[in-house]
Amino acid sequence: MNPSSLYPLAEETFSLFPFDVVIRDAPNDALKQERQRVIARLCVELIEHYGYQSHQILLNELITIPSVSGKTYLECDVMARDEHNNVLLIQVETPADYDCGRESALNHLFRLGRAYQGKEKNISQLHLVYYTHVPDYRDGYARCMTIDFLQYPDLISWLQASKPTSSEIPFALGKK
């Protein structure tokens, strides 16, 4: 029996990168496949619009949190870091789950920010980004919420400051 007939793969190739990005997923896992499409779209935007280079973008990055019971890890969907140590920690959500998943995503992003700041000492800027891409009849549009983590290093200080956010992703330094 042919193994590929047991596990059929749906493939979609994004040719906007200088290299091909192929998304493979089980056809019945539509939610995961949709998240991967949003991540692929975000990576294209980071490169083509915001000035990041492909080697500056990491997907599914694990950030270590030391604890008394051993190491634990938090996963960052997308991390971008330019040559000037400006860092974006990005949590991606499907368009359908963007609004209802916001609270959980923000808690996760602030935990990621604390863990990353504890690991890396030479950070110029650190932004937390909650992101989705909504398809429409043309090209679609992005929805994002960006928080300056160095200015608001925890959820409480951010809430006390009346939840200041930007709806833009910061450009790689010098790439505007």
pLDDT value for 27? 53
CATH code of residue 57: 3.40.1350
Residue 168 lies in a domain: no
In whole numbers, what is the pLDDT of the chain averaged over residues? 83
Please provide the distance, in angstroms rounded to a whole number, between the alpha carbons at the two ends of the chain.
54
For residue 12, is it within any domain?
no
Q: Write out pLDDT tens, residues 115-129.
A: 998 888 888 899 999
Q: Compare 138 and 174 and report the one with higher pLDDT.
A: 138
pLDDT tens for 57-102 read 999 999 888 778 877 889 999 999 998 889 999 999 999 999 999 9
Proportion of the chain above pLDDT 70, given as a percent: 82
Put simply, whether the predicted model's pTM sits higher than 0.85 gets the answer no
> pLDDT for 12-23, tens place per residue?
444 444 444 555
Q: Regarding predicted confidence, which is higher, 27 or 151?
A: 151
pLDDT of residue 17: 47
Which residue in this structure is represented by tokens 């994002």? 144
Res. 25: pLDDT tops 70 = no
Residue 47 domain-assigned?
no
pLDDT, residue 16, reads: 47
Residue 104 lies in a domain: yes
Whether residue 77 lies inside any domain: the answer is yes
Residue 135 within any structural domain of the chain: yes
Whether residue 27 is contained in a domain is answered as no
Give tens-digit pLDDT for 94-110.
999 999 999 999 999 99
> 15-20: which pairs have CB atoms within 8 A and are 24 or more residues apart?
16/44, 16/48, 17/43, 17/44, 17/47, 17/54, 18/54, 19/54
CA dihedral sign of residues 53, 147, 98, 167: negative
Compute how many other C-beta atoms are within 10 angstroms of the C-beta atom of residue 160.
10
129-144, pLDDT tens digit by residue? 999 999 887 778 899 9
**Is 132 contained in some domain?**
yes
DSSP code of residue 48? H
Question: What is the C-alpha separation between 122 and 85, in angstroms, rounded?
Answer: 7
Q: Looking at the 3D structure of the chain, how many domains does it have?
A: 1
Number of Cβ within 10 Å of residue 44's Cβ equals 16
Query: In terms of residues, how long is the chain?
Result: 176
Rounded percentage of the chain residues whose pLDDT exceeds 90: 58
Give the structural domain span for 140.
Answer: 53-160
Instruction: Look at residue 24 in the predicted model and tell me its pLDDT.
Output: 52
